[in-house]
Amino acid sequence: MDVLPSWRAGPTRTAVLEFLAAARDVPVEQRVAYFDNDGTLWCERPSYVQWDFLVDQLRQRATEDPSIAQQPEFAAVLEARREAIASIGLARIAVALAGLFTGLTPEEFAGRVRGWMATAVHASGRPVRSLGYRPMRELIELLRADGFTVGIVTGGGAEFLRAISGELYGVPPDRVVGTSVGYRLTGGDRGTVVLRRTARIVGDANEGAAKVTNAQTQLGRRPILAAGNSAGDAELLRWATAAPGPGLALLLDHDDAEREYAYEGRAETFTAAEAVGDTAARLGWTRISMARDWATVFDTDTDTDTDTDTGTSGR
């Protein structure tokens, strides 16, 4: 297959291609696609990539200053005590971890992220930089070829993903929306003004309805395609399909325990009224089965199909 070669032939691939054909009648300025990141563009199990980065940075700081490990938030993380983490609350722990980078400039923080990414290894044994899903990268490339503007609307840290979004997905930093930290301005004379990070989280975590409001505030354009994998993405997907004309909501089902992980995508910061799979069925979203629809999962994998046109699996 010339397009979407890592997608097996079937209803899901057909729905994507039919949408793209219909979208060619949409003015180019309205061809906008937004993707969630964690669990949609790259692997989020057994832990989020950004979480692994934060834990690594915390360990380094604790080696330099052992007193840090005495703080309850940091002790729970370093000792991987799930009950303690749950008791303290992820919101409080997130603020504490953000504080590790207080005073850094945006450029200094981006440098740390890129340095870590260059050598970090995932729990699966893969280099972290190779955790991207090849079929989604192919879809992004196809959308661009059809005149789409592609953005990422993530629940993770905006600055973390902005440091690597260009390398991973070809998405520039100004098209990434995520949970944001505050900055303070230092200096006063021209040429000495410097932005430095604080530990303050700006607004709510970028999940649920916040994905829609933040995307509109920061990017100013409504998508006609949105892709996600959890209840935290549901409002973003609703937004795309509520637009006039063709719209496509893609929900990635993690149902492949052999090649990745099998689990139901849930929101991290709130309890959804219904499972996202039920929402997808009720609203008629297009569901991507990782097990059935993708011949290949990761960028560095070899094809697992002997014949992608017939969908015959070689697993």
| pLDDT tens column, 169-187 | 999 999 999 999 999 998 7
Is 38 part of any domain? yes
Domain with 288, as residue range(s), is 11-44+119-180+200-313
- Does pLDDT of 91 surpass 70? yes
- 256 has which bridge partners? none
Is 165 part of any domain? yes
- pLDDT for 301: 78
Is 96 part of any domain? no
Here the CATH number for the domain that contains residue 226 is 3.40.50.1000
Is 131 part of any domain? yes
| pLDDT tens column, 229-254 | 999 999 999 999 998 899 999 999 99
| 310 pLDDT tier (thresholds 50, 70, 90) | very low
Please identify which residue in the block is written with the tokens 């600055």.
Answer: 159
- pLDDT for 306: 41
Is 127 part of any domain? yes
Is 188 part of any domain? no
Alpha helix ranges (H) inside the chain:
11-23, 49-64, 72-78, 82-88, 90-98, 106-119, 134-145, 158-162, 165-169, 209-219, 234-241, 276-283, 290-293
| pLDDT tens column, 94-125 | 889 999 999 999 999 999 999 999 999 999 99
- Does pLDDT of 206 surpass 70? yes
CB-count exposure of residue 257 (10 Å: 0-12, 13-18, 19+): exposed
Task: Residue 225: name the closest of 134, 290, 150 by CA.
Answer: 150
Tell me the average pLDDT of the chain. Answer: 93
- Does pLDDT of 314 surpass 60? no
Is 286 part of any domain? yes
85 or 53: whose pLDDT is higher? 53
Domain count, the chain: 1
- Average pLDDT over every residue of 140-149: 98
Is 249 part of any domain? yes
